[in-house]
Amino acid sequence: MLFRVVEHKWWYFLVSGIVIVPGLVFLLLGGLKPGIEFKGGTLLDVTFREAPTASAVHDVMASLGHEEAIVQRAEGGRLLIRTEQLTPEEEVKAERALEEKFGQDVERSSQTVSPSFSGELVTNAFRAVVAASTLIVLLIAFAFRQFGWGAFRYGIAAIVAVLHDAFLVLGIFAILGYFLNVEVDSLFVTAILTIIGFSVHDTIVVFDRIRENLKLSAGEALNPIINFSVMQTMVRSLITSFTTLLPLLALYAFGGYSVRNFALALLLGITAGTYSSIFNAAQVVSLWQELEDKWRGRGRGPRPAAA
Amino acid sequence: MTGLGPWLVALVALIAIWVDIPHHQFDLPFGCPGICLRIGDRYYQQEIKTHLGLDLQGGTQLILRLQTEKLPAGSNTPLDTLNEQARKVIDRRINSLGVSEPVIQAIGGDKILIELPGIADIEQAQKVATQTAFLEFKVPDEANAGQFKSMDPPLTGANLKPTFVTFEGQASSNPVVNFEFGSPDDQRWVELSKQYVGKQVQILLDAKQISAPSIREVFSSGKGIIEGGFTTQSAKELSLLLNSGALPVPLEIAQSSRIEPTLGAESVRQSLIAGAIGLLLVVAFMVAFYRLPGVVAVVALAFYTILSYAIFRLIPVTLTLAGIAGFILSIGMAVDANVLTFERLKEELRSGKSLRTAVEEGRKRAFPSIAYSNAATIVSAGILFYFGTGTVKGFALTLGIGVAVSFFTAVIVTQMLLHGVIEIPSLRKRSLFGVEERASDARRPEPRPVGA
């Protein structure tokens, strides 16, 4: 079995495009909804034995002066109520009112973030992403330092693959946010950074193999070597991702409501990371080489005539 | 591998298992739970137990911000000092609540993190953490009848001795808070009574009047009482607040979260189930796919799980929901190094090498990839730990520890086991390594690329 992974690169790029572009559209439409951590406010998470309707809960909140409350029903009698920042007194008052109306609640949790602090959290998240990206680029540069100037294209290709994975997850969460009000929190940012790390590590394994094969067969054309290297590492890539996806699937299915979106982001990102390391990363290197050859070819073309 | 290696690994495994066993019932000579060290005068003791985060055991967490902008102009106490003073005051207040293992930490210069396990009453938590408890005594203002003014300098509760509650009045039914000024404020208190005898003074807590008693006679000492229509409860609370001292700076809640203990227990149950199922799936897959090396990987994975958990208990790492997620994720990553090695091993076997050479070559040639990929994950985990707060830190810590431990188990332990396994004659079958018997080798295509 030998796929022509390099020759068909445009098809693979197309597949990526088809999956990513719709997400990008919703990203631009503002589909990515910040959770209360990133915009401030209060999230009440109340579970009743019998869940009342969202509108009934909203009425109670409105009667307490929290007209802005957004009520969402989750499984098992669970209700998520999002409001502007509540003081502890207001919070307890709201809970008492809900209890009075809908009966004793079973359990609850709440989270409040002041708007000024959420600004700080956004800055922190942003900083973490920038720092992680910078360090990852340095790590890639270090891994391919022996390639000399050629390392540059490998670094760029690895970064393209990482961006591919990050934007795929961002896009899908933008779609989920747009239609289902799924919000992103610091755990989501954590997931993205983990995906970046994972994706880079997948890509490095492929590139490492290319490096080894280039050394073994100096003077060969690049594309067949890439093809062969990708094939050699493909089983490993698929299995590694698969063994990572297995526990994540368990986490998604059984880990409970609070980690479900986190597990989903990781599932999507790691799947994307596997795809991009097999079907995108090395192909970008190949494309770079082809463009360079073409450019050199043209550059050389007129010269003899001029001479 | 030296001859000593396997013994060391076995020793590490035994220690890890010992650490993992809950509730040590046997006492070491010191008679303490967990680890106790005494070197000279230094004494180190640490109880070994699993620390659960608030989201798993229930409780309240507050992040408080020092409102330095509300300090009177010209006050120039450094932020760190204010933070430390505030934490001390809060610590005293929490201690008297009897919360077990509270957390009071500075985060950044201007914030304080407070965790109160088991306390789900957010109003109480807020009172403890944010009530300034600034007591001031004001005297009648001659310029404005009926008004009170601060003395110069203000007479505050800063210099009070420990207060206590007694009961006065008919049938001792009226709780009052007894206070006594320390020197030199006791002299000022006596002076005040001389100056304003027969008049009302005002006692304020956090700029709110709690009582306005009339001074009936000249005091002989710095003692006094506050009566403000207290219940026994509220008198005790006030006494406690005064004894803990006033906060040096007003605090506001930047973030609060609270989880009821039942909800936490449910999360623990769900995480355990998810973790167990995830682990089983990985085990089943590895054995089915890699056969004998797969079994070796499973042993390494078991070692990995035991060792990581022991490290969590020893450091100790506070396990949160996100932390457990990180750990579950690292299970999948832990087998990555094994997969890399085994794939190489298969390749080497197919290219006609002997088992022993193939195992050695597989290790050597898979190592750079393993090192880089682990480094990439540890770098991301390190960044998350550095920039993250709360949940994110927990995730980064368990993921980072997980990857570091897996580096040890997947590289050293797996290799040791593999080397051991291939010395057993009945296990030296290529089919057990998922590779065809040698006869088929000749039919395999050349493993290196030839030509363009």
Interface test with B, best of A44, A136, A154, A194 (most B CBs within 10 A): A194
Residue of A nearest to B272 (CA): A255
Residue of A nearest to B446 (CA): A228
pLDDT for position A148: 65
Interface test with A, best of B126, B336, B406 (most A CBs within 10 A): B336
Predicted confidence (pLDDT) per residue in A208-239, tens digit? 888 888 888 877 888 888 888 898 888 888 98
CA distance B235 to B116: 23
Instruction: Note whether B267 contacts A256, CB cutoff 8 Å.
Output: yes
Which residues in chain A touch residue B63, judged by CB atoms under 8 angstroms apart? 117
Chain-centre distance of CA B326, in angstroms? 16
Distance from CA of A305 to the nearest CA of B (A): 31
Confidence of residue A246 (pLDDT cuts 50, 70, 90): very high
Tell whether B379 lies on the interface with A, counting CB pairs under 8 A. Answer: yes
pLDDT for position B320: 86
Q: What are the start-end ranges of the H helices in B315-352?
A: 321-350
Does the global pTM surpass 0.90?
no
Between the CA atoms of A21, A27, A32 and A38, what dihedral angle is there, to the nearest 10 degrees?
A: 130
Statement: residue B445 has pLDDT above 60: no
A41-113 has which fold? Alpha-Beta Plaits (3.30.70)
Predicted confidence (pLDDT) per residue in A115-168, tens digit? 888 888 888 888 878 887 788 778 777 777 766 666 778 888 888 898 999 999
Place of tokens 């065809």: B436
Residue of A nearest to B336 (CA): A240
CA distance B303 to B280: 14
Statement: residue A286 has pLDDT above 80: yes
Measured CA to CA in angstroms, residue A170 lies from A13, A19, A30, A136, B389 at distances of: 18, 12, 11, 19, 22
Provide the sign of the torsion angle of the four alpha carbons A2, A221, B373, A124, taken in this order: negative
Strand order in the sheet with B174-180: B164-168, B174-180, B223-226
Tell which residue, B324, B330, B409, has the closest CA to residue A246.
B330
Residues B352-365, buried b or exposed e (16+ Cβ, 10 A)? ebebeebbbbbbeb
Which residues in chain A touch residue B372, judged by CB atoms under 8 angstroms apart? 139, 143, 201, 204-205, 208
pLDDT for position B452: 39
| Same fold yes or no, A9-35+117-293 and A41-113 | no
CA distance B49 to A43: 32
The mean of the pLDDT values for chain B is: 82
Tell whether A213 lies on the interface with B, counting CB pairs under 8 A. Answer: yes
User: Looking at the partner chain, which of B368, B374, B380 has a beta carbon nearest the beta carbon of A208?
Assistant: B368
- Strands (E) in B212-303, as ranges, are 223-226, 251-259
Q: What are phi and psi of A183, to 5 degrees?
A: -105, 155
Judge if ipTM > 0.90.
Answer: no
Interface test with A, best of B111, B131, B255, B330 (most A CBs within 10 A): B255
Confidence of residue B38 (pLDDT cuts 50, 70, 90): low
Predicted confidence (pLDDT) per residue in B375-388, tens digit? 877 877 888 888 77
Interface test with A, best of B258, B285, B369, B385 (most A CBs within 10 A): B369
| A262: amino acid identity, one letter | F
Tell whether A146 lies on the interface with B, counting CB pairs under 8 A. Answer: no
| Lookup: tokens for A11 | 């098809």
Mean pLDDT of B225-242: 83
Which residues in chain B touch residue A228, judged by CB atoms under 8 angstroms apart? 449
Instruction: Note whether A220 contacts B328, CB cutoff 8 Å.
Output: no
**Distance from the first to the final alpha carbon of chain A:** 49
User: Looking at the partner chain, which of B281, B289, B369 has a beta carbon nearest the beta carbon of A204?
Assistant: B369
Statement: residue A1 has pLDDT above 60: no
Instruction: Note whether B399 contacts A194, CB cutoff 8 Å.
Output: yes
Tell whether B340 lies on the interface with A, counting CB pairs under 8 A. Answer: yes
CA distance B344 to A225: 18
User: What are the domain boundaries of chain A?
Assistant: 9-35+117-293, 41-113
pLDDT for position B39: 66
pLDDT for position B440: 44
Q: What are phi and psi of B151, to 5 degrees?
A: -80, 170
Instruction: Note whether A201 contacts B270, CB cutoff 8 Å.
Output: no
pLDDT for position A271: 94
Predicted confidence (pLDDT) per residue in B254-268, tens digit? 989 888 888 888 888
| Lookup: tokens for A12 | 């693979």
Residue of B nearest to A136 (CA): B376
Q: According to CATH, what is the number of the domain B59-132+249-258?
A: 3.30.70.3400
Predicted confidence (pLDDT) per residue in B320-336, tens digit? 888 888 888 888 777 88
Instruction: Note whether B122 contacts A88, CB cutoff 8 Å.
Output: yes
Residue of B nearest to A45 (CA): B259
User: Looking at the partner chain, which of A125, A186, A200 has a beta carbon nearest the beta carbon of B376?
Assistant: A200
Instruction: Note whether A190 contacts B395, CB cutoff 8 Å.
Output: yes
pLDDT for position A274: 92
Statement: residue A20 has pLDDT above 90: yes
Confidence of residue A306 (pLDDT cuts 50, 70, 90): very low
B389 or A204: whose pLDDT is higher? A204
Q: According to CATH, what is the number of the domain B5-19+264-443?
A: 1.20.1640.10
pLDDT for position A26: 94
Mean pLDDT of B190-214: 86
Q: What are phi and psi of B96, to 5 degrees?
A: -75, -15
User: What are the domain boundaries of chain B?
Assistant: 5-19+264-443, 59-132+249-258, 135-244
Instruction: Note whether B289 contacts A239, CB cutoff 8 Å.
Output: yes
Confidence of residue B451 (pLDDT cuts 50, 70, 90): very low
pLDDT for position B5: 76
CA distance A285 to B340: 23
Interface test with A, best of B383, B385, B395, B444 (most A CBs within 10 A): B383
Instruction: Note whether B279 contacts A225, CB cutoff 8 Å.
Output: no
Q: According to CATH, what is the number of the domain B135-244?
A: 3.30.1360.200
Residue of B nearest to A138 (CA): B376
Instruction: Note whether B391 contacts A246, CB cutoff 8 Å.
Output: no
CA distance A260 to A266: 10
Work out the angle between the directed axes of helices A115-143 and A151-180 (0-180°, nearest 10).
Answer: 150
CA distance B178 to B166: 7
Instruction: Note whether A217 contacts B277, CB cutoff 8 Å.
Output: no
Half-sphere exposure of A273 (CA within 13 A, CB side): 30
pLDDT for position B409: 87
**% of chain B with per-residue pLDDT over 90:** 5
Instruction: Note whether B451 contacts A220, CB cutoff 8 Å.
Output: yes
Bridge partners for B106 per DSSP: B112
Q: What is the 3-state secondary structure (H, E, C) of B24-83?
A: CCCCCCCCCCCEEEEECCEEEEECCCCEECHHHHCEEEEEEEECHHHCCCCCCCCHHHHH
| Same fold yes or no, B59-132+249-258 and B135-244 | no
| Lookup: tokens for B417 | 């086991």
B352 or B308: whose pLDDT is higher? B308
Mean pLDDT of B30-35: 56
User: Looking at the partner chain, which of A107, A225, A249 has a beta carbon nearest the beta carbon of B260?
Assistant: A107
Mean pLDDT of B394-404: 87
How many CB contacts within 8 angstroms connect chain A with chain B? 232
Tell whether A258 lies on the interface with B, counting CB pairs under 8 A. Answer: yes
Mean pLDDT of A95-103: 85
Place of tokens 């026994």: B232
The mean of the pLDDT values for chain A is: 85
Residue count of chain A, please give it: 307
CA distance A86 to A44: 10
Q: According to CATH, what is the number of the domain A9-35+117-293?
A: 1.20.1640.10
User: Cβ distance B106 to B86 under 8 Å?
Assistant: no
User: Cβ distance B318 to B311 under 8 Å?
Assistant: no
pLDDT for position A137: 77
Confidence of residue B149 (pLDDT cuts 50, 70, 90): confident
Predicted confidence (pLDDT) per residue in B86-143, tens digit? 898 888 888 877 787 888 989 878 899 998 888 878 888 888 888 888 888 888 888 8
What are the residues whose beta carbons fall under 8 Å from the beta carbon of B71, sequence distance 6 or more?
A: B249
pLDDT for position B444: 46
